[in-house]
Amino acid sequence: MERIDYLAAQTSLAKTMRRVCETEQAIAIDGAGKDQVVMLSLQQYQALAAQCCAPETESSPQRQGRP
C-alpha cells in the first residue's frame, strides 16, 4: 500500500482522492505523531463493510454451534 504524509495529502487532496477512486488502491496517510489513516474509495468501503458486517447465514459456523 502506498504511504504519503499528511502534508502531501492535504496539499493535493482532490488529486489523491481521484487517484484512489480511479485505481481502487487505498493509500495510507501518516499524520503528525502517531496518527495514521487509510483513504479508500466509497465503493471499496461499502464492499468491505458488506463483507465484514453481513448478516450471518444458516451455514455460518456460529449457527452450527462452532466458535
CATH for 31: 3.40.1620.10
What pLDDT score does 52 carry? Answer: 86
Whether 60 is in a domain gets the answer no
**Domain total in the chain:** 1
Give the structural domain span for 47. Answer: 2-53
44 burial class (0-12, 13-18, 19+ CB within 10 angstroms)? middle
Q: Alpha helix locations (H) across 25-64?
A: 42-53
Over residues 4-12, mean pLDDT: 92
Whether 65 is in a domain gets the answer no
Q: What is the pLDDT of residues 21-67, one digit of tens each?
A: 999 999 999 987 788 999 999 999 999 999 888 666 555 455 445 45
In whole angstroms, what is the distance from residue 59 CA to residue 67 CA?
13
Whether 32 is in a domain gets the answer yes
pTM over cut 0.75: no
Query: In sequence order, which residues have a C-beta less than 8 Å from that of residue 8 and are 6 or more positions away?
Result: 16
